[in-house]
């Protein structure tokens, strides 16, 4: 894929025929220098673990500037894509550029109050419903979304996943999972630039990395997450995939831990 960027934070980055404002790319948490690498990594992970077919109807939670929507537009010839995000500028850009070229791709703004990504948001996340009918979706995925959500918010989103997924539909959702050994490893290795240690417990089975910015990174015990999954009416396809973030696992499947779920 051809790409170009001159280093100007107010400039544009070219990817798959799109000129993307660098200012919007930076809101995704990773800049232009790794944009293509992340897109490829996402594609390989989704194809390997849940499979993507041309006729699938897909929901992406936290679609951002459309990094995954762009390559999916070359795949979903007979399916449909729904992108959801809380950053209004990103949704506007996706509508004006991706939906303009692909009528089967739609983007929706959830005006959620979020201290990091949408501080002017007017509503609580728990009132929003996905803009999809019951039992209409084949695949759902979310990269680095549940890592910035409290337990009740994740519970709400998983119930929405369960509502819209068809029987047999699958989800790929990244998260931070911890136990004492994982936390000890994270403190030793410092595998990410964010120095993830999760030293502050805010409620049983839930820790934040920085109490001054709790939504910056949130982690859960497996027991806490398993309870939420069961309450949503979903089941595990397999044990969670190992994340590289803590340095605990000899072999990692993704940068973060991953829930592979099925209705």
**Does residue 122 fall inside a structural domain?**
yes
Q: What is the structure's pLDDT at 1?
A: 46
**Does residue 244 fall inside a structural domain?**
yes
Q: Say if residue 6's pLDDT is above 70.
A: no
Q: What is the per-residue pLDDT across 52-62, written as a single tens digit (0 to 9) for each?
A: 999 999 999 99
**Does residue 171 fall inside a structural domain?**
yes
Q: What is the structure's pLDDT at 134?
A: 98
Q: Can you give the residue range of the structural domain that contains 89?
A: 31-262
The contacts of residue 222 (CB under 8 Å, 6+ apart) are 177, 179, 240
Question: Which one, of 79, 54, 64, lies nearest residue 118 by Cα?
Answer: 64
The contacts of residue 239 (CB under 8 Å, 6+ apart) are none
Q: What is the per-residue pLDDT across 198-257, written as a single tens digit (0 to 9) for each?
A: 999 999 999 999 999 999 999 999 999 999 999 999 999 999 999 999 999 999 999 999
Q: Say if residue 3's pLDDT is above 80.
A: no
Q: What is the per-residue pLDDT across 76-117, written as a single tens digit (0 to 9) for each?
A: 999 999 999 999 999 999 999 999 999 999 999 987 766 566
Q: What is the per-residue pLDDT across 64-77, written as a single tens digit (0 to 9) for each?
A: 999 999 999 999 99
Q: 104 and 79 in contact (C-beta within 8 Å)?
A: yes
Q: Write down the residue that tokens 């537009």 correspond to.
A: 73
Query: Model's pTM, two decimal places?
Result: 0.94
**Does residue 65 fall inside a structural domain?**
yes
Q: What is the structure's pLDDT at 126?
A: 80
CATH number of the domain enclosing 254: 3.40.50.150
Q: Say if residue 172's pLDDT is above 70.
A: yes
Establish how many alpha carbons lie within 13 A of residue 11's alpha carbon, considering only the half-sphere containing its beta carbon.
Answer: 11
**Does residue 12 fall inside a structural domain?**
no
**Does residue 2 fall inside a structural domain?**
no
Domain total in the chain: 1
């Amino acid at each position: 894929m051809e790409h170009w960027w001159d280093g100007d934070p107010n400039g544009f980055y070219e990817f798959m025929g799109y000129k993307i404002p660098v200012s919007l790319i930076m809101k995704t948490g990773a800049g232009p220098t790794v944009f293509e690498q992340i897109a490829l990594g996402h594609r390989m992970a989704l194809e390997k673990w849940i499979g993507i077919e041309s006729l699938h109807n897909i929901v992406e939670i936290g679609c951002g500037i459309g990094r995954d929507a762009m390559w999916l537009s070359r795949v979903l010839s007979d399916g449909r894509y729904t992108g959801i995000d809380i950053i209004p500028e990103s949704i506007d850009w996706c509508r004006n550029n991706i939906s303009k070229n692909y009528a089967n791709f739609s983007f929706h703004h959830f005006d959620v109050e979020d201290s990091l990504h949408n501080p002017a948001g007017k509503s609580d996340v728990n009132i929003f419903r996905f803009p999809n009918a019951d039992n209409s979706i084949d695949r759902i995925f979310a990269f680095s979304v549940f890592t910035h959500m409290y337990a009740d918010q994740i519970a709400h989103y998983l119930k929405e996943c369960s509502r819209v997924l068809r029987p047999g539909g699958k989800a790929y959702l990244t998260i931070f999972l911890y136990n004492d050994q994982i936390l000890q490893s994270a403190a030793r290795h410092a595998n990410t630039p964010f120095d993830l240690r999760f030293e502050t417990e805010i409620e049983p089975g839930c820790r934040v990395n920085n109490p001054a910015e709790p939504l910056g990174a949130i982690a859960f015990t497996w027991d806490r997450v398993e309870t939420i999954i069961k309450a949503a009416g979903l089941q595990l396809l397999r044990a969670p995939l190992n994340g590289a973030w803590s340095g605990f696992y000899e072999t990692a499947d993704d940068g973060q831990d991953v829930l592979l779920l099925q209705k």
